[in-house]
Homo-oligomer: A and B are copies of this chain.
Amino acid sequence: MSDKWLVGVDLGGTTTKIAFVSFYGEIVHKWEIPTDTSENGKNIIVDIAKSIDHHLDELGETKAKLKGVGMGAPGPVDMDNGIIYEAVNLGWEKNTPLKDLLEVETGLPCVIDNDANCAALGEMWKGAGNGAKDIVAVTLGTGVGGGVITNGDIVHGSKGAAGEIGHITVMPEGGFQCNCGKTGCLETVASATGVVRLALQALEESSEDSVLRSGLQTEGVLSAKEIFDAAREGDTLAVSIVDKLAFYLGLAIANLGNALNPDRIVLGGGVSKAGEVLLSPVDKYFNSFAFPTVASSTAISIAKLGNDAGVIGGAWLVKNKLD
């Protein structure tokens, strides 16, 4: 073990999270800077490099204290060559050589991966994965993303499209249209917008009394949080909507379990904050769709690191991929 620090960077479209992390995965110091996407994002890397220098100064340390930089980037990544294929939210050109640019500006060895993969690595190392070497992380946010870790390492697949868990087909017939071009994707029913879609459909198809109906009528909109809150209070229609989401999510993760038998499937993102009201029916469906040995040996749990998962996963990359 070294007493150097690992630098984890979680590059987002609005803010960039940065942390100095010990070799044991403890955050020593963390902060955020805005991501400047003006002028095709030409300042992004320089801003990060300057900010690292500035914080080193403040802490009375020099660059010699740093082992390297590990960055999670918002787009599909060719990790071996350090290239980000696409990063539409940042304004960058296709196939930007992110690793090289980062090394030039920071003067440190760097390694990059996709942000969802970094979050999965963070959870494996220091979060709900609890050191397990086979985990699947599913992020239920505005969309549904994921990372697959087998034998202790991220699976990238042929063209970096492994972990597209949001695009697992759960409604092979009569499914909702997805942004990806196909229909019936998990994302269309298990994201924050997906659960609202299920609710609007249920309200339209039934005339059952529900706090969701009155809420929708007064406010004109419905949020995922309102649906989970109503289900928690026992609103029958809301309970049936959450049950439907849980059916599709349970089916998708049970089939991931049947293929990979991971130690743990970790659910993160905004929707996962619903907690027990979601986890309990998901568990029920997972157990009914999973092969018996998988049902008894693959655990389902809620992500633990929240916003820190990405920087901790970035630090893991430095520790494990730079030597």
- Chain A contact residues, CB within 8 Å of chain B: 76, 132, 134, 136, 146, 148, 150-151, 153, 155-165, 167-169, 172, 180-182, 184, 247, 251-252, 254-256, 258-263, 288-294, 296-298
- Bound CA–CA A215/B150 (angstroms): 48
Contacts of A150 in B (CB 8 A): 148, 150-151, 155, 162
Measured between alpha carbons, how far is A262 from B157 in the docked complex, in Å?
5
Cβ–Cβ < 8 Å partners of A258 in chain B: 161, 164-165, 167-169
Task: Write out the residue numbers on chain B whose beta carbons fall within 8 Å of the beta carbon of A184.
Answer: 289
Copies of the polypeptide in the assembly: 2
Q: Are B259 and A162 in contact (CB under 8 A)?
A: yes
Partner of A255, one of B76, B163, B169, B263: B169
Q: Is the CB of A297 within 8 A of B134?
A: no
Cβ B247 vs Cβ A163 within 8 A: no
Question: Are A162 and B260 in contact, CB atoms less than 8 angstroms apart?
Answer: yes
Q: Are B291 and A261 in contact (CB under 8 A)?
A: no
A297 neighbours in B (Cβ, 8 Å): 157-159, 161
The distance from the CB of A244 to the nearest CB of chain B, in whole angstroms, is 12
Which residues of B are found within 8 Å of A298, using beta-carbon distances?
A: 157-158
Q: Residues of B contacting A157 with CB < 8 Å?
A: 134, 260-263, 294, 297-298
Given A182-B288, A291-B182, A292-B181, A259 contacting B163 (CB threshold 8 A) = yes
